[in-house]
Amino acid sequence: MTVYRKWYCTCTGQPIELTCEEILDDEPVEPACEFCGATPSSDPKKTIIYRDEEDWDD
């Protein structure tokens, strides 16, 4: 079983899934809101939420 953490931003009034930029080099890339730019570690308006989704196919 694998757990995926999906991040959402609620700045538009409904949860919008955050999008990850393409990974360049080997640096971890944080997902960011395409509307307000908030990320899980930079969330001044407290609009970031997440859901853990379980994948039972493993």
Q: Which positions touch Zn ion (CB under 5 A)?
A: 9, 11, 33, 35-36, 38
Name the minimum Å distance from CB 37 to Zn ion.
7
What does each C-alpha distance from 40 to 6, 21, 33 come to in angstroms?
11, 14, 9
Name the minimum Å distance from CB 43 to Zn ion.
9
d(C-alpha 40, C-alpha 2), whole Å: 21
Nearer to Zn ion (CB atom), residue 6 or residue 54: 6
The conformation of residue 20, written as its DSSP 8-state character, comes to P
Nearer to Zn ion (CB atom), residue 2 or residue 41: 41
